[in-house]
Amino acid sequence: MTTRIDLGYVSKDNEQWSETALGTNSGATAEHTEVATRQHVVTHISGHTDADATIQLKQISADNGTTNVLAEWKKDASIEGWQFAPINGVWIATAGYSVAVVISASTSDCQVNMTGFTL
């Protein structure tokens, strides 16, 4: 199956978006809400945490709350330090789903950022 994305056409509805969330010891979630019949495309994830953590990119159904993990990374703060390197790619969510990037935990300080656009 081939998915074709026409990036040559950009309307005001296809403008880029960015979400940021700050957290403490319970982690943080940055979410971009769903748009009926439209697909969100995530292109960048970044942030920091002061503890080992899991970073997940999820899509969430507005209809029934079903959550699917699109991608997952592990962060080892003792090796990598407090900031995790920017993660760039193209992750396409199902039409009508919101997208969220979640950092699982920290000791006292974390932040997660996500950018993308909507088709």
pLDDT tens, position by position, 3-55: 555 555 555 566 789 999 999 888 999 999 998 889 999 999 999 988 888 99
Inform me whether the pLDDT recorded for 76 exceeds 90: no
- For the stretch 12-24, pLDDT in tens is 566 789 999 999 8
Helices (H), 70-117: 77-80
Q: Which residue has the tokens 């790619």?
A: 89
Residue scoring higher pLDDT (81 or 118): 118
Stronger pLDDT, 89 or 1, i.e. the higher one:
89
pLDDT at 63: 85
Judge contact between 33 and 98, C-beta under 8 A: yes
